[in-house]
Structure 1
């Protein structure tokens, strides 16, 4: 992982760097695996790497775009019940591109709004951009940890970046 949180950065710069840093971890966790490995259910509930990536894309759109009245792409699934499930017709490429588009849309919103800008979250709470950034960092870190465990079970790879 090459991104680091600046030691003396502004609040927004530091939060953005932290989010980007963990987004890179998530991307690395799926790197180099074939479709079968990415879809392999690794827990009794069926959790798999590709489903976690789809979920993270969904919440990037939700917490940054929907919350602050920004456009999102139309979702082809129910975000409340199917965001961690990957259907047979959903390709790995489709899910990776969905994640990239969601992060790009989120970044645009983050760049354009101040940390004190208020929006309405999915459950009706009034939240600030600061809160949304912190929450998304928490969610990304949490699921990056899940992905680390799943990846280790698949091929033994661990850590927050590929080995040198």
Structure 2
């Protein structure tokens, strides 16, 4: 990570770091471990990955880039749930693909480019990047605790 980065590079690097940290938290776990409910609400590691996929897609691809929202029909906490018939590898691949598509949107956009959210608020790319860094880092804290409870793995 470049410690003398400009604003754009610093934001992009931080988001990339936190995305990679999430993937490290799930690395080496089997399907049962990824799906194991770790909280009273049933939250699990695979659900965190799906939530961050939906969130990345929503902010970068739907709100900023104006693409259709395939997740628009999700209600309540459905974005944290993964059906049993959906392979874990597919969920992880979708996260990686969504991040790559989001990176292309970020590369083409200016930090001061403004869009209007579906709820009528104006937001620029800088704020979206900052939000996604915060969102991913916050859920990495959850992933840290879940992974440690599953197999004792800590770090990063």
TM-score normalised over the length of structure 2: 0.93
CA distance 1:101–1:90, shift in 2 (3 Å):
same
Structure 2: runs of 5+ lacking an equivalent: none
> How many Å apart are 1:11 and its aligned residue?
0.3
Q: Which protein is richer in helix relative to its size?
A: 2
Residues 1:93 and 1:76: Cα distance change in structure 2 (over 3 Å): farther
- Partner Cα distance (1:81, 1:9) in 2: 37
Aligned to 2:105: 109
The CA deviation at 1:69 is 3.1
* TM-score where L is the length of structure 1: 0.89
Q: How much has 1:105 moved relative to structure 2?
A: 1.1
Unaligned runs of 5+ in 1: none
Shift of 1:124: 2.6
Superposition misfits of 4+ residues, deviation over 4 angstroms: none
C-alpha separation in 1, matches of 2:11 and 2:4: 12
State the secondary structure of the residue aligned to 1:115: coil
Deviation at 1:79, TM superposition (A): 6.3
| In structure 1, C-alpha distance between the alignment counterparts of 2:58 and 2:118, rounded to whole Å | 7
Q: Would you say how many aligned residue pairs link Structure 1 and Structure 2?
A: 156
Counterpart of 2:79 in 1: which secondary structure?
Answer: coil
In structure 2, what is the Cα distance between the partners aligned to 1:122 and 1:49?
29
Are the equivalent residues in 1 in contact too, given 2:148–2:154 (CA < 8 A)? yes
- Mapped contact 2:58–2:69 kept (Cα < 8 A): no
C-alpha contact (below 8 Å) 1:62/1:122 kept by paired residues: no
CA RMSD of aligned residues (A): 1.7
Aligned to 1:156: 152
> How do 1:33-112 and structure 2 match up within 5 A?
33-71=29-67, 74-75=70-71, 78=74, 81-112=77-108
The offset of 1:77, in angstroms, is 6.2
Say if 1:36 and 1:62 are closer, same or farther in 2 by CA, change over 3 A: same
Q: Which residue in the other structure is 2:20 paired with?
A: 24
